[in-house]
Amino acid sequence: LNDNPSHYKIMLSGTVKSPKISFDPPFLMLMPVPLDVKTETTINIIPKDFLRTSQIQVELPELELEDGDMIYPFSVQFPGGKNIVISSDGTNKELICHISFISSRPVSFLGNMFFIDEEKN
């Protein structure tokens, strides 16, 4: 008060937590199957430190075949929805994701699928 700020000091400290997701299982291996037969599995997406509702998007790989043709043999489904929500205790609820693969042409693939939020994290 009285234009003398030296008597009143406020110190603030805090921790910034970046939103993260992890996966169970941490990697995915689909079994070889005959042509035109679907193979699929389920993974759990475990969000952490999301402070507001966010929606997960998936970037699926495009595969190039030996003849140069491009295919999209993967698909994903979120039976409970793609929204990361915050529960009443402040934690984020897990999401279930079904990943499937089917191809009419012989192909093998080792690579990444990207799961991103609305802010491209």
What one-character-per-residue DSSP string does 10-68 give?
Answer: ----------EEEEESSS--PPP--TT--EEEEEEEEEES--S-EE-EEEPPPEE-TTS
Residue 65 CA to chain centroid, in angstroms?
27
Assess if residue 50 is contained within a domain.
yes
- Per-residue pLDDT at 48 exceeds 70: yes
Average pLDDT over residues 50-61: 90
Looking at residue 16, what is its pLDDT?
79
How far apart are the C-alpha atoms of 43 and 20, rounded to whole Å?
A: 16
The answer on pLDDT for 67 being more than 80 is yes
- Residue 3 domain flag: no
User: For residue 2, is it within any domain?
Assistant: no
In a domain, 121, yes or no: no
Are 44 and 92 in contact by the 8 Å Cβ rule? The answer is no
Domain assignment present for residue 10? The answer is no
Domain that holds residue 25: 20-116
Kindly state whether residue 78 falls inside one of the protein's structural domains: yes
Per residue in 8-31, pLDDT tens? 677 888 887 888 899 999 988 888
Does residue 1 sit within a domain? no
Composition of the chain by helix, strand, coil, percent to 5: 0, 35, 65
CATH assignment of the domain containing 110: 2.60.40
Residue 7 DSSP one-character state: G
**89 pLDDT band (50/70/90 cuts)?**
confident
Say yes or no to pLDDT of 40 above 60.
yes
Residue 1 reports pLDDT greater than 60: no
Domains in the chain, number: 1
Confidence of residue 98 (pLDDT cuts 50, 70, 90): very high
The C-alpha atoms of residue 8 and residue 6 are separated, in whole angstroms, by 6
Q: Would you say the pTM of this structure is higher than 0.95?
A: no
Tell me if 44 is assigned to some domain.
yes
**What pLDDT does 28 receive?**
87
